[in-house]
Chain A
Amino acid sequence: MNLFNLSWKNIQIKPLSTLLSLILFGLGVGIITILLLINQQLQEKFQKNLAGVDMVVGAKGSPLQLILSSIYHIDNPTGNISLREAALLKKHPRIAPLIEKTIPLALGDSYKGYRIVGTEHSYVELYDSATAATAKLWQKDLEVTIGAKVAAELQLKAGDEFFSAHGLMDDGHNHEENPLKVVSVLPKTKTVLDQLILTNVSTVRLLHKKPEIEFDEEHEEEEGHDGHDHEGHDHEGHDHDEHDHEHEHEEKKVEPIDLDDPTQGLTSLLVFFRSPMGNLLLPNFINQNTKMQTAAPAYEANRLYEMMGVGTRALQVLAYVIIFISALSVFISLFNSLKDRKYELALMRVMGASRWRLFFLIILEGLMIAILGYLIGLVLSHGGMSIFSGMAEDAYQYSFDGWRFLKDELYILIGALSIGILAAVIPALIAYRVDISETLTK
């Protein structure tokens, strides 16, 4: 028997009020921790996937959307850009010297929810330079290299073939005439690369070429608006025309590419500057001379954090309120129990306990609830993170790690312990000041 045992038994003797305090405490700690975890892992993912891209050039629309679609592969693309305009970045004497390199991206198709990205080998280099140098990447049209996660989830390996689907969602219509062949699987990089199917730009163009002649007016109009950004109902049109599609295919393939037609162009360009001046000059140039727009990933990511920040802060405030209430409930329950336990405390003094021991006994009871509440919060937050990770994976093919721990959680523990002590300090002082003789005479 010791003080630790005794306070442990004491908090068990009133299970309901202890439970209430624990649930409140756990909830507060849980919310704060999960916000921390999500924030941390999101920022980390964002930073890693940025891979030094200075600027993205794409079709006009929301710059944030352009960043999300071209770098993080979450949102739909803003549209397409023509090859002629894209080529300006490399050719125009005013801006070409500023630019170190550009990587083209062509989006629009997917396979079972995983995006097919038409690009160049340098895209792989961005995330995994070692593999890019050694692995056998795609070479010809209709050859693809797949990310580690795609391979694992869809059980694909080199040599397998599949038909891609139209659009970026799972429910797209299949291009059953052009099978894609897996030539290699990339090792895991823990970046966006893991969830992509990579091929060359002309493959995407090939998959994506539409039998425009057969389209009725309504659909043509739609195509003009959407570009490669495929939404629900234009797929239906494809279903009807599937038969003709096959016939057209051979002829279309040999047609020269129209350099001014965005639908035969690219989705976006990832731009790397040679000089920081590019950050200033390129946006002006693009805005004045082309129909394209530029978006700076760092700036847009900050904007995104800020937008999330409002929600995060609101939740944080809520969590602090809950923790405050739980501290209050610990205080009230200790305070109330002291009324009944005054005699017990006096008795402990009779048995030789000093005033300080009684003080620590009550502090220990507050601390125990804080520690248990903290543990509950930890389980809640990391368990919640695992569930959130599953949801994020279904929706965006992004996964998070639920059971990774942060140093900040240690600070939360320290905070939790302080709150436990703070809630118990007044009751502990009352215990300290119990007058033995007076209490025992009552």
Chain B
Amino acid sequence: MLKTNNLSYTYNNSVMIDFPNIDCKAGEHWLLIGQSGTGKTTLLHLLGGLRRTQKGGIEVAGQDLGKLNSDRLDRFRGENIGIVFQQSHFIGSLTVEENLLLALYLAGKKQDKTKVKSLLSRLNLADKLQSKPRQLSQGEQQRVAIARALVTQPKVILADEPTSALDDDNCQEVIQLLETEAKAQNASLLIVTHDQRLKDYFNNTIELTKGKMLKE
């Protein structure tokens, strides 16, 4: 479902990071763990098609991301990839429900209100449907962000440090949510983090290595 091949990235011609090859099958859950400076966010952005690859290839659901132009990449991402960020951000002028409907609209999928409602109630957010995102607590916001990534039923879910801003209770809740929902949709789940607490939940773990200084 998600494959990388000899992926590496160079920052400002001075630091180069080689990423280990990933081969994540449909429905598998992977944890990519690494300290700061190991290019976690860069890797996630590359996998999500938010940043263009420099070297090596990425294949998502059989599609080589490097072969898509900007508009088609946006479209592909909206349809196939759901992304959860460390800091949850929303469209401030919209309610929780509208934020999810917007995700469906932008992904070109049917704006099914009952689906949105049932997903939000599974995440214990049924009463927040009409709230503005900034009125929610951080834990709630993160759950809404997960709901937004899931609502389009993507084949791949990418999460960038989804738990590092949360306390232990919220951390456990969020990670279990991601796992159950990904399983329910048979989606591949890749989590990029430095949060050692998560190691226990995953069988497939890849350690990321620090980048090398290039000689001038």
- A13 and B74: CB pair below 8 A? no
Mark contacts of A345-369 with chain B using CB atoms, 8 A cut-off: 1 yes-contact digit, 0 otherwise. 0011111111111000000000000
Point out the residues of chain A lying under 8 angstroms from B105, CB to CB: 1-2
Report how many A-B pairs have Cβ atoms within 8 Å: 79
Q: Counting CB contacts under 8 A, is B94 at the interface?
A: yes
Whether, in the assembled complex, B103 has its beta carbon less than 8 Å from a beta carbon of chain A, the answer is yes
Known: A6-B102, A437-B50. Is A12-B93 also a contact (CB below 8 A)? Answer: yes
Please give the distance in Å from B168's CB to the nearest CB on chain A.
26
- Assess whether B106 is interfacial by the CB under 8 Å rule: yes
A437 touches B51 (CB 8 A): yes
Closest B residue to A348 by CB, please name it: B106
A15 to nearest B CB, angstroms? 11
B93-A6 in contact (CB<8A): yes
Q: Is B181 an interface residue (CB 8 A)?
A: no
Q: Are A352 and B107 in contact (CB under 8 A)?
A: yes
A6 vs B105: C-alpha distance when bound (angstroms): 11
A221 to B176, CA, bound (A): 109
In the bound complex, CA of A75 to CA of B168 (Å): 89
Contacts of A357 in B (CB 8 A): 106
Evaluate contact between A1 and B101: CB separation under 8 angstroms: yes
Task: Please tell me which one of the listed residues B70, B98, B103 contacts residue A351 in the complex, with CB atoms under 8 A apart.
Answer: B103
- The CA of A343 and the CA of B116, in the complex, are separated in Å by 23
Partner of B102, one of A1, A341, A343: A1
CA distance A356 to B51 in the complex (A): 18
Judge if A393 is at the interface, Cβ distance under 8 Å: no
A441 within 8 A of B: yes
Contacts of B74 in A (CB 8 A): 349, 352-355
Which residue of B85, B101, B106, B152 has the most chain A CB atoms within 10 A of its CB atom?
B106
Say yes or no for B138: interface residue by CB 8 A criterion. Answer: no
- A348 CB contacts on chain B under 8 angstroms: 91, 102, 106
B41 in the interface, Cβ–Cβ < 8 Å? yes
Instruction: Return the chain B residue nearest A352 by Cβ.
Output: B78
Q: In the bound complex, do residue B91 and residue A354 qualify as a contact, i.e. CB atoms below 8 Å apart?
A: no
B111: which A residues are within 8 A, CB to CB? 1
A11 to chain B, nearest CB (A): 9
Are B107 and A351 in contact, CB atoms less than 8 angstroms apart? yes
Question: Given the interface contacts A12-B93, A437-B45, does A350 sit within 8 Å of B98 by beta carbon?
Answer: no
**Are B92 and A440 in contact (CB-based, < 8 A)?**
no
* Bound: A347/B103 CA distance, A: 10
What's the tally of chain A residues with a CB closer than 8 Å to chain B? Answer: 27
Q: Complex Cα distance A343/B85, Å?
A: 12
- Answer whether residue B37 sits at the interface, using C-beta atoms and an 8 A cutoff: no
Query: Which B residues touch A344, using CB under 8 A?
Result: 89-92
Report Cα–Cα, A352/B74, bound state, in Å: 5
List of A residues within 8 angstroms of B148 by Cβ = 351
Interface centre among B48, B50, B90 (most CB of A within 10 A): B50
Main secondary structure of the interface of A (DSSP, over half): helix
B80 smallest CB distance to A (angstroms):
9
Q: Are B93 and A13 in contact (CB under 8 A)?
A: yes
Task: Choose one: B50, B70, B93, B108; the contact of A350 (CB below 8 Å).
Answer: B50
Known A-B contacts A6-B102, A437-B50; the reply to A350 vs B83 at CB < 8 A is yes
Interface check B71, CB cutoff 8 A: yes
Question: Once bound together, how far apart are the Cα atoms of A218 and B74, in whole Å?
Answer: 94
CA A436 to CA B85, docked complex, whole Å: 13
Residue A136 CB within 8 A of the other chain: no
Q: How far is the CA of A436 from the CA of B41 in the complex (A)?
A: 13
Query: Most chain-A CB neighbours within 10 Å: which of B74, B98, B104?
Result: B74
Q: Per-residue 0/1 for A1-22: is the Cβ within 8 Å of any B Cβ (1 yes, 0 no)?
A: 1100110011011000000000
Chain A 8-61 interface residues, beta-carbon cutoff 8 Å to B? 9-10, 12-13
User: With A1-B101, A13-B92, A13-B93 given, is the CB distance from A440 to B75 under 8 Å?
Assistant: no
Q: Which of B98-151 contact A (CB under 8 A)?
A: 98, 101-108, 111, 148
Contact pick for A347, options B41, B45, B90, B107, CB 8 Å? B90
Q: How far is the CA of A287 from the CA of B90 in the complex (A)?
A: 84
**Distance (Å) between the CB of A324 and the closest chain B CB?**
28
A351 near B89: Cβ-Cβ < 8 Å: no
Contact of A10 among B50, B83, B93 (CB under 8 A): B93
Nearest A residue to B101, CB-CB: A1
Report B151 CB to chain A, min CB distance, Å: 10
Asked whether any CB of chain A lies closer than 8 Å to the CB of B28, the reply is no
Q: Known contacts A347-B91, A352-B74, A355-B74; decide if A436 and B50 are in contact (CB<8 Å).
A: yes
Q: How far is the CB of B148 from chain A (nearest CB, A)?
A: 8
A315-348 at interface with B (beta carbon < 8 Å): 340-341, 343-344, 347-348
B41 touches A441 (CB 8 A): yes
CB distance from B105 to the nearest CB of A (A): 5
Minimum CB–CB distance from B89 to chain A (whole Å) comes to: 5
Chain B residues in 8 Å Cβ range of A5: 98
B45:A351 contact, CB within 8 angstroms: no
Q: Which of B75, B77, B91 has the most CB of A within 10 A?
A: B91
What chain B residues lie within 8 Å of A436 (beta carbons)? 45, 50-51
Check B91–A440 contact: CB distance below 8 A. no
Report the separation of the CA atoms of residues A79 and B51 in the bound assembly, to the nearest whole angstrom.
Answer: 88
Q: Is the CB of A352 within 8 A of B79?
A: yes
Chain A 418-440 interface 0/1 with B at a Cβ cutoff of 8 Å (1 = within): 00000000000000000011001
A-chain residues with CB within 8 Å of residue B85 when the two chains form the complex: 440
In the complex, 22 of the A-B residue pairs with CB atoms within 8 angstroms, ordered by the A residue number, are A5-B98, A6-B93, A6-B102, A9-B94, A13-B92, A340-B92, A343-B89, A344-B91, A348-B106, A349-B74, A350-B48, A350-B83, A351-B102, A352-B74, A352-B152, A353-B74, A353-B78, A355-B74, A356-B71, A357-B106, A440-B50, A441-B45
Q: A1-B101, A344-B90 are in contact. List 6 more A-B contacts (CB 8 A).
A: A1-B98, A1-B105, A6-B102, A349-B50, A437-B45, A440-B50
A interface, CB within 8 angstroms of B = 1-2, 5-6, 9-10, 12-13, 340-341, 343-344, 347-357, 436-437, 440-441
